Structure 1
Amino acid sequence: MFLTASLTTGVARVTAGRLESIRMIQEILTLDHVDWETTMAVGDAEFHRTKDGPYPNHQFRISVRPSAGLAALNYMDHDDKTMPIANSYNPKRPLPELDLIFNGSTGAVFPRTAIIPVDDANEALIEWLDSRKRPTCIEWRPFDAY
């Protein structure tokens, strides 16, 4: 298993194996995502941006505010016919008064309904490492255009 990540810090990293990948996820969850999101892909090969690929079929986008203990997730899977692009969903109200960056290139932010506790994000990301599918331990809503 390889986890390829483009971190909010502008650094790209690759881990090999489950334990090393979990450590990187835990590190990502401590980074303050102010101007840029982190994107991740898991697979049997490292994912690099070249004209020859390989290209992942599924990807996670995450934004975290460690000081608030909150995160937001976006999951894209080209093979998922029911919900190919989804955001994490928090049914609890009131919603947090926080903006988490969705796309650093455009300045778009996640909808506040996507903001979940960091512990829930951690559990979802570890489930994703193991299943390579959209995690079932949290709720999801179809992606809305930003």
Structure 2
Amino acid sequence: MIVTATLSTGISRVTNGLSESVSLIEDVLNIEHVDWETILLVGDHEFYTTPEGPVPNSQFRVSVRPSLGIAALNHTDHDRADLPNVNSYNPIHLGRPAELIFSGTTGMVFPPGSAITIESAYVALIEWLQTFQRPACVQWRPSSPNYPRWPTRDS
């Protein structure tokens, strides 16, 4: 297993094997994601080794605020006809959506209800490393700029 990561710090990392990849996940979950998200890709090879690819079919977008004890996840899998793009979902609402950046490029933040505990995010990401599939241990809801209205940091 190889994980290709673009961290919110602007650094890219590639790990080989479960042990290195779990260590990467732990590092990601300890970063205060204020301005940028982290992108994670898992597979049998490193992704984006050239501008032509290889290009992944699935990815995780991760935003974490250790100071608040919350995280949010977005999973995209183009091989899934049912809900190819989803966000973590927690009906308890652990935090304000503006606290979890979805896209540093656009300033979009995760919609309300996306915040989960960092422990839940950890369990989900480890399950993903083991299965290469969307984790079943957290709830998901469709991700779309229209469902629900996506706020930005300025709204």
Task: Indicate whether the TM-score tops 0.5.
Answer: yes
Partner of 1:96: 95
Amino acid at match of 2:96: E
SS at match of 1:88: strand
Are the equivalent residues in 1 in contact too, given 2:97–2:110 (CA < 8 A)? no
What's the TM-score, normalizing by structure 2? 0.90
Q: Which runs of 5+ in 2 are unaligned?
A: 151-155
Offset, 1:50 = 2.3
| Whole-angstrom CA distance in 2 between matches of 1:97 and 1:86 | 19
The 2-side partners of 1:108 and 1:50 are apart by: 28
Give unmatched runs, 5+ long, in structure 1: none
Alpha carbon RMSD of aligned pairs, Å? 1.1
Q: CA deviation at 1:12?
A: 0.4
Cα deviation, 1:89-127, whole Å, max 9, x if unaligned, reads 00215x423521000000000012111000000000000
Cα deviation 1:50-92 (Å, max 9, x = unaligned): 2331111100000000011100000000001111000000021
Matched residue count? 145
Distance 2:50 2:3 in 1: 17
Larger proportion of strand: 1
8 Å contact kept, 2:48–2:55: yes
**Residue matched to 1:71:** 71
Letter in 2 for 1:125: L
Q: TM-score, normalised by structure 1?
A: 0.95
